Structure 1
Amino acid sequence: PWLRSFFFFFEKLNLTHGAVSRQIAKLEDWLGLKVFERGARGVTLTNEGNRLHLRTTEAFALISVDSDRWVEPRGTAVVRLASIPSVSGLWLMPRMATLENDPTRLRIVLDVVNRQADLADEGIDLSVRCGRGRIPGRVSVQLFEEHLFPIASPDLAREIGGGDPARLLKFPLINDSDASGWRAWFAAQDVDYRPRPQDRRFEDYLLVLDAAAPGFGIALARPPLPADQLRSGLIVAVDER
């Protein structure tokens, strides 16, 4: 509801309509894009505004949970859980409240790292990793199974159209850390793929989704991580429109 009207801001910040409108105008001017669509029924987010909302929400959530590592919780069982930023922001955070409200009353301290944490040396109790699950000396439980498929912005997906999987090579491909995902996907389609100068590479999957949404190239969906972006329509499956 707050996305459709500025009245929420008036009450929470004790600001006038004019003051809020000026701040919104400054934000849009600074970003160089339109964040809100203003209509007779109120205000809604543009596609760019929705992307900004998703990313800032994830960022503030990660800041909140990562700051917990400096404060030792008291009076409850503490579990230190390590994960990479994309899994933390896109999969763990929406489930944190449910996990902490479990009858066991666990307190989860999330360590967000862009690498595989060393459980023994860093005092980590649990770690969410991508792999086959066979880690010597560790007990593994499968949380979900990935099924890769190409995704793009709605406009780019329309431009790509249907047809042979090799048609995707006419467009820039977005890689997550390395090209292993695309190589595996194309290999399953009997198509040879090697990274090219026009392809893009990012160290974190959150940036992959951010690059795919405005049409910078084709990315691979790694469900359930891009569920919100697919649900909102910021990105779509290339072959399932």
Structure 2
Amino acid sequence: MTARLPSLNGLRAFEAAARHLSFTQAAAELNVTQTAISHQIRRLEEELGLRLFIRKNRALALTPKAKDYLPGVRAAFNDLRLATDRLLRKDNDSVLTISTLASFAAKWLLPRLSTFQEAHPSIDVRITTSNSLVDFRSGDVDAAIRYGRGHWPGVRARWLTADELFPVCSPALLKGDKPLRCPQDLAYYTLLHTSGGYDDDWRLWLTAAGLPADISKQRGISFDLIFMTVQAAIDGIGVAMGRTTYVQDDIAKGRLVVPFKIALPADAGFYLVSPEAADDPPKLRVFRDWLLAAVQNKS
């Protein structure tokens, strides 16, 4: 038989008093009198058949059983707040919040986002950047664009696109006293590296090109974001290991060139990640359709 739930007012009073360890502060937060808090907690203790607080002069402490009870009560109220927030957001207004990688936003998404806004002016898109997987339970983010192999528990991951790896540089490096004409010429140039998951790109490409992997260890410059590495290549500082998504626009506009024909497929790709247990709201469905078309060069 299902146990009868205790008084909701009593649970609210218990959670607030346990958080503050004060009936006075709990009363102020809930906009009731201290006497009302005392009465609600006494009634809750009677319903549960156990003591929740130890009263010592002016000090207040939780009993061991109350300490065990509190996390579940607190989590239940948090879930209620989130559910109410989602309900009142009415699907939820017209705000669509997308979390993505900073470099993906700078080099690919933002230059194209105006086409989505023109097609869907009623949707207010907000972009946040992070490398971490999103906790959708917070309700702050509708979907995320992440790089990996798509094996993330508790979320729905939709394949978007994959990259190829290949060196890129400023057109100026193809000229001069020591022009970059063949892969062996890389030994005379500064190699630009990206940390944080891209550390091995140069070694992998050099191996695929049949060149000594030790070339990747020669003196160079390292950046923590790939769009910074790309910008350094545009500025002629050195040769960067490019990835399709991050350099295709700069190649098309002549800011970068591909000096060699050797490209290496990446072993991971970009995914659109959203909550697993919920249907996509209309605003996210239209963004997903636009995004899939855009990565396929259809928009």
TM-score, length-normalised on structure 1? 0.59
Query: Structure 2 matches for 1:30-45, cutoff 5 A?
Result: none
SS in 1 for 2:222: strand
Offset of 1:237 from its aligned partner? 0.9
- 1:177-212 deviation digits (Å, cap 9, x = unpaired): 242211221222233425435211101122112211
Q: Which residue of 2 aligns with 1:8?
A: none
**Structure 1 residue 176 and structure 2 residue 197: aligned?**
no
Q: Which residue of 2 aligns with 1:188?
A: 208
SS in 1 for 2:172: helix
Q: Which residue of 2 aligns with 1:120?
A: 136
Distance in structure 2 (CA, Å) of the matches to 1:172 and 1:160: 13
Distance in structure 1 (CA, Å) of the matches to 2:232 and 2:98: 28
Q: Which residue of 1 aligns with 2:161?
A: 144
The 1:161/1:95 distance shift into structure 2, 3 A limit, reads closer
Offset of 1:233 from its aligned partner? 1.9
SS in 1 for 2:125: strand
Offset of 1:121 from its aligned partner? 6.0
Q: Which residue of 1 aligns with 2:123?
A: 106
Indicate conservation of the 8 Å contact 2:171/2:255, yes or no: yes
Indicate conservation of the 8 Å contact 2:227/2:246, yes or no: no
Indicate conservation of the 8 Å contact 2:194/2:222, yes or no: yes
Structure 2 counterpart of 1:161, which letter?
Answer: L
Query: Structure 2 matches for 1:188-207, cutoff 5 A?
Result: 188-194=208-214, 195-196=216-217, 198-207=219-228
**Structure 1 residue 221 and structure 2 residue 239: aligned?**
no
Q: Which residue of 1 aligns with 2:181?
A: 162
Distance in structure 2 (CA, Å) of the matches to 1:149 and 1:182: 9
Offset of 1:134 from its aligned partner? 2.3
- Indicate which of 111, 125, 131 corresponds to 2:148: 131
Distance in structure 2 (CA, Å) of the matches to 1:208 and 1:144: 21
SS in 1 for 2:164: coil
Distance in structure 2 (CA, Å) of the matches to 1:130 and 1:119: 16
Distance in structure 2 (CA, Å) of the matches to 1:121 and 1:82: 14
Structure 1 counterpart of 2:202, which letter?
Answer: W
Distance in structure 2 (CA, Å) of the matches to 1:209 and 1:201: 11
Identity %: 23
Indicate conservation of the 8 Å contact 1:76/1:107, yes or no: no
Indicate conservation of the 8 Å contact 2:168/2:256, yes or no: yes
Distance in structure 1 (CA, Å) of the matches to 2:230 and 2:212: 24
- 1:57-116 deviation digits (Å, cap 9, x = unpaired): xxxxxxxxxxxxxxx9x9733322111221112211123233345569433221123x22
Structure 1 counterpart of 2:248, which letter?
Answer: A
Distance in structure 2 (CA, Å) of the matches to 1:157 and 1:142: 36
Q: Would you identify which runs of 4 or more consecutive aligned residues in structure 1 move more than 4 Å?
A: 101-105
Distance in structure 2 (CA, Å) of the matches to 1:170 and 1:96: 39
CA RMSD of aligned residues (A): 2.9
The 1:125/1:215 distance shift into structure 2, 3 A limit, reads same
Larger % of strand: which?
Answer: 2
Distance in structure 1 (CA, Å) of the matches to 2:173 and 2:254: 13
Indicate conservation of the 8 Å contact 2:193/2:221, yes or no: yes
Of the two, which has the highest radius of gyration?
Answer: 2
Offset of 1:150 from its aligned partner? 0.9
Offset of 1:153 from its aligned partner? 1.2
Stretch moving more, 83-92 or 96-105:
96-105
Higher relative contact order (CA 8 A, sep 6+): 2
Distance in structure 2 (CA, Å) of the matches to 1:167 and 1:179: 21
Indicate conservation of the 8 Å contact 1:151/1:220, yes or no: yes
> Unpaired segments of 5 or more residues in structure 1?
1-71
> Unpaired segments of 5 or more residues in structure 2?
1-88, 262-299
Indicate conservation of the 8 Å contact 2:168/2:258, yes or no: yes
